[in-house]
Structure formats: C-alpha cells, structure tokens
Amino acid sequence: MITVPPAHPFALLRRTLVIVATLTPVLWLVAQRLLVATLRPASPRLNALDARAAQRLREACERLGVIFVKLGQLLGVRADFLPPPYVAELRRLQDDVTPADFRYVRAALEREFGMPLALAFDSFEETPLATASIGQVHRARYAGRDVVVKFLRPDTRERLALDLRLLRGWARLGRRIDPRRQWKLIDDILDAIEAGFFEEADFAAEREHAERLREQLATMPGVYVPYTVPARCTPNVLTLEFCSGARISDVAQLRAWGVDTNALLNRLVELYARMMLLDGYYHADPHPGNFLVRQDGTLVLLDFGLVRELSEATRRTLYDAARAALTGDIGRVVDCLYTAGMLTPESPRAEAERFVAAFARLSVAFNQDTRGRVTALEDLLRRSPRLQFVIPPDLLYAFRLVQMLEGVASNFRPGWNVVADGGEGLAAAFTAFVLDSPPVGSASPFDRLVDTLRFGFGAAARTLVDRLGILARVLAR
C-alpha cells in the first residue's frame, strides 16, 4: 500500500487558489463563447473562441496535474459529445503531456537502478515517446532488444493525495448545501478514483497485471500483450517490450492499411467481455492512448496500471442476467438487479420491470446516436422516480468501461453502441464464456449449449461450421 503524509492546511489553501486561478481564464473564454453564440449564432468568432478555450483547457489540465489530466483524458474520448476543437486538444493529454526535464529523468532512473543510465541500458532516448498524467515513457535498448521504460513522474503521489483531499472537502461542502442521496455515489466514485490512481502509481503491481493479462489473453486471436523485462523493473519503473503500430484513434492510418474497422471494434468488445466474464480480471482504462493497432489488424494492449477483478458472485449474477435477457425474461433480469445490489430493496418491482423493458428497447435502438440514447435514458429515469439505483463497488469500473469503449468507437462510427453495434464481439465472448468458463453453480452443459446457439444465431456471429465445432466440444465433455 502506497501512503503519503497528510497535507498541511496552508498547502490545501494554496492548492485551491492555484486551481481557481488556473481555471478562471478557461471559464471566461467559455462564457464569452456562450454569449457570442446567444447573440450572434453565425459569428465567425465562435470557431476562434472554441480553439482558444480548448487550448487553454488542455494547458490548464497539464498545469494542474494528475487528476485534472485524467479528467481531460476522459472528456477527450467523447468525440460524440464535445466540439471538435476540444476533442483534438484533450486527446493530446493521452500521451502528450509536457515532459519532465531529462536531467530529472536521468537522476531518478539512476537512483532506482543504482548505476549510471549508460550501464543500465544499451541506449536510452532522451526524447520521451509519451507523457501522461502519472508516467513518462522513453524508448531504449536492453540486451539487444527494443524496450520502453515507464517511470513515475516527480511528486506524483503527493499531488494525488492533495487533490483527492480537496475533492473530498468540496464534496462535503456540496452535501451541506444540497444533502441528496447522489452525494453517496460521489463518495463511492472518489473512493474508486483514489484506489485506482494509487494503483497506477505502483509499477510493481502494474508489472504483475501485465504478466497476468499476457498469460490470460495468450490464446485470443488478434490480441497481443507485450512482455515485461524483470531485470529493469522496480516499484517506480516498468520496462516492457516495445511494440509498433498506429493509435486506435488514427482512423486515417488504419484505413490506409486496409484494416477492417468493424472487425476491430468487435474484437475490442470481445476482448473486454472475455476479460470480465471468463476470468473476472480486466484492464479498466480503455482510452485511445492504451491501444495500438498493427498493420495486420492485431490489437495491442498497453498500460496496465488500472486493473479490476469481479467476484465469483458478481460473475454468476451477470451470467444469469445474460441468460434471462436472451430469453426475454424481464422478471429474471430484475431479480438479478436486486441480487447484485444495483436496485435497493425499497424500489418497487413493477416499476423496475417497466424500466428494464424500456431500457432493453433503448439499448438496441439502431436509429439513435449516443447523445440521443443518453437523453432518452435520462428521460426514462425521470419517469421512474421511485427506483433507487446503486453501483456496486466491483461494477463501478465496468459501467465506466462501456462509456469509454463507445468513446473509442465513435472515432470510426459516431453513435456506435456496444449493445446495438458490438453484437459479434459479444457473441464470441459469450460463446467462450458459456462453454469454457461458466461460474460455479451455473447452468448445465446442455443449457449452456442452448444459450450459445440462441445468442450466436441472433447476432449472426458464427457460421454453421463453428456451431458444429461447438456442438462437438460440448458432447465430448
């Protein structure tokens, strides 16, 4: 467990003043933009104001550090929500944060390895490959192999602790002003953020995550996880195999290579569904900077600082919910929501069943983009005032994953939806799940075969030959 000393009250006050002073110019530009848009909707000044505000926002996130960079990263994947200038600027936060001076890099690495950098590596490039909220990445050579070296940026842990304490203080203040139930959810989110950020700052744990996921995904076609270099890994440094490829958001390059982007998106959905359902152990930070695509379409997974695990009970509930959804058993789906703790016991069952039925229709609405679905969901929640939803701790990141995956996919197809458009990937993962790794106490082999056939034919994700092969595997057991 990584710990840092508590911040002095004067440090909190100074930090608050820094945040306010840094964000004020951005808010002023946004206010100007809104005023101009109201008074003169066709004004040519709008584009210039957007460009300036977007640049200032990105620069403010960089100056404010870890948490604000992460928030900018999350916003930067939502090409379907933000105007293009903001998306373009905030995407730079994925791996283009202002780098630390190389003098500090050299000194930090030599302290970690206890030797001059020239002895630790055959060669080491001073210009970083990527810079992000927590780590900075340089290319190097070790034992004749191309590697990347990721290290913790200076003062990262102290800044994390300070900002998280401020956020909690602001949340407490908000609770006093407006004491509603939603503040409990904000507390849960802050707990998850704190745990996740401090995990990302522990490179020894990240190395273990990388090695486990490499083994776990070794048999999945079209997906690759780089190997680690243990001799050059410490709690503050992670050395991995160098992998080449294009960023998953570089749509022009992928299309120039002839990569089948529909197949790529389905592979991405299958990857996450398999990680969560088969092993319950999944990479929980799918922003565009964490994926490369090779010219042959292989998806390369990067950055293993944020990994989550689902309990056996949660996996069993998800399995039961999936089976119920396949058969249209709304009542059983609602049972699973109560079992998983996503609906409080006080929530009326009849209203819950109406909500689930409407949500199911919404999830497969092919004629709506993401913004339209969000608006429709908000309207649905307003029409269900007695339902009280709670996100269980081990599903908090799972819900975040859906939003981030749809943000990545929106680079290729605006309005892309996991349920409506990722059917082939879901089918492939579900097939592997019901045949190879069902949770303890789940359905019989015959029931699993029926589930697989039903889901596979519905999504048109398998050929008849595939189905015969599946049948042979089940009967052989």
pLDDT digits (tens, 9 = 90+) for 65-77: 777 887 787 677 6
Q: Which token pair is 441?
A: 């106490």
Q: Tens of pLDDT along 250-264?
A: 989 999 999 998 889
Tokens 């319950």 belong to 280
- Write down the pLDDT at residue 456: 47
φ and ψ at residue 119, rounded to 5 degrees: -90, -30
Asked if residue 317 lies in contact with residue 339, where contact means CB atoms within 8 angstroms, the answer is yes
Asked if residue 421 lies in contact with residue 265, where contact means CB atoms within 8 angstroms, the answer is yes
- Write down the pLDDT at residue 466: 39
Handedness of CA 419, 423, 425, 428 (dihedral sign): positive
Residue 40's pLDDT band (cuts 50, 70, 90) = confident
Give the 3-state secondary structure of residue 238: strand
- Write down the pLDDT at residue 148: 96
DSSP sequence for 178-211: S--THHHHHHHHHHHHHHHHHHHT-HHHHHHHHH
Q: Which residues, other chains included, contact 367 with Cβ-Cβ below 8 Å and sequence gap of 6+?
A: none
Residue 81's pLDDT band (cuts 50, 70, 90) = low
Alpha-carbon distance 323 to 327, whole Å? 7
Q: Is 221 exposed, middle or buried (0-12, 13-18, 19+ CB in 10 A)?
A: exposed
Check pLDDT > 90 for residue 224: yes
Q: Tens of pLDDT along 382-405?
A: 888 888 888 777 777 777 777 777
- Write down the pLDDT at residue 471: 41
- Count the residues in the chain: 477
Tokens 């009542």 belong to 331
Mean pLDDT of 375-381: 77
Alpha-carbon distance 257 to 242, whole Å? 21
pTM for the whole structure:
0.67
Alpha-carbon distance 163 to 158, whole Å? 9
Q: Which residues, other chains included, contact 458 with Cβ-Cβ below 8 Å and sequence gap of 6+?
A: 326, 423, 427
Q: State how beta strands 246-247 and 237-241 pair.
A: unpaired
Check pLDDT > 60 for residue 356: yes
Asked if residue 61 lies in contact with residue 71, where contact means CB atoms within 8 angstroms, the answer is yes
Our CA dihedral for 271, 277, 282, 285, rounded to 10 degrees, sits at: 70
Indicate the average pLDDT of the chain.
79
Most confident of 85-99, 359-373, 415-429: 85-99
Alpha-carbon distance 77 to 87, whole Å? 7
- Write down the pLDDT at residue 459: 41
Alpha-carbon distance 405 to 411, whole Å? 11
- Write down the pLDDT at residue 420: 64
Our CA dihedral for 377, 383, 386, 388, rounded to 10 degrees, sits at: 10
Q: Which token pair is 246?
A: 């294009």
Q: Tens of pLDDT along 111-155?
A: 999 999 999 999 999 999 887 767 789 999 999 999 999 998 767
Q: Tens of pLDDT along 3-19?
A: 444 556 677 888 889 99
- Write down the pLDDT at residue 461: 38
DSSP sequence for 284-337: ----GGGEEE-TT--EEE---S-EEE--HHHHHHHHHHHHHHHHT-HHHHHHHH
Rounded percentage of the chain residues whose pLDDT exceeds 90: 25
Asked if residue 234 lies in contact with residue 112, where contact means CB atoms within 8 angstroms, the answer is yes
Amino acid at 347: S
Give me the half-sphere count of Cα atoms (radius 13 Å) on the Cβ side of residue 8.
Answer: 3
DSSP sequence for 34-74: HHHHHH-TT-THHHHHHHHHHHHHHHHHHHH-HHHHHHHHH
Instruction: Report the greatest alpha carbon distance in the chain.
Output: 72
- Write down the pLDDT at residue 370: 52
Alpha-carbon distance 452 to 282, whole Å? 23
Alpha-carbon distance 277 to 432, whole Å? 9
Check pLDDT > 70 for residue 436: no
Residue 434's pLDDT band (cuts 50, 70, 90) = low
Check pLDDT > 70 for residue 321: yes
